[in-house]
A = this chain, B = another copy of it.
Amino acid sequence: MSDLPAQPSSEMPKDGEDFCCDLPHDHSADSTQRLQQPPLSSEKAQRMAEFLGFLADPNRLRILSILAKQEMCVGDLATAVDMNESAVSHQLRTLRTIRLVSSRKQGRHVFYRLQDDHVFAFYQAVVEHLDEPDT
């Protein structure tokens, strides 16, 4: 009974319950074992989603792709990605808040760069992973 493709937790609810998984049968140890130990804690899923959400913006990605190659000041970034300087500044603030980039002030300019190598590595990994697949 453990080599079947998969079984819904239960087929026939006995009580007035809505969910099918409420009576003891093959649930003893196997099929629900991996179900019982929470798959991905809600908090962790939350943090992962947040982080991914920060990457899930075309303009932020383009900004990061530039900073992955060189540091650059806000105005030039705005020109490079063809965005409003204000919009870029907002995005940079976001990226700064989550420690993806750091800044260095020089005169009237503020130069941004990737915070550390881990960010670069992760960015590269994402790019490479998403380069080949389907679309």
Report A's interface with B, CB cutoff 8 A: 5-6, 8-9, 19-21, 34-35, 39-40, 42, 45-53, 55-62, 65-66, 69-73, 75-76, 78-81, 99, 106, 109, 111, 118, 121-122, 125-127, 129-130, 133-135
Contacts and interface: CB of A to CB of B under 8 A. Distances in A.
Nearest to A104: B5
Contact of A34 (B9, B69, B129): B69
A94 B72 CA distance: 37
A62 B80 contact: no
Given A48-B130, A56-B52, A133-B118, A62 B40 contact: yes
Given A49-B61, A53-B56, A71-B6, A39 B80 contact: yes
A111 B46 CA distance: 25
B51 A130 contact: yes
Nearest to A36: B80
Contacts of A71: 5-6
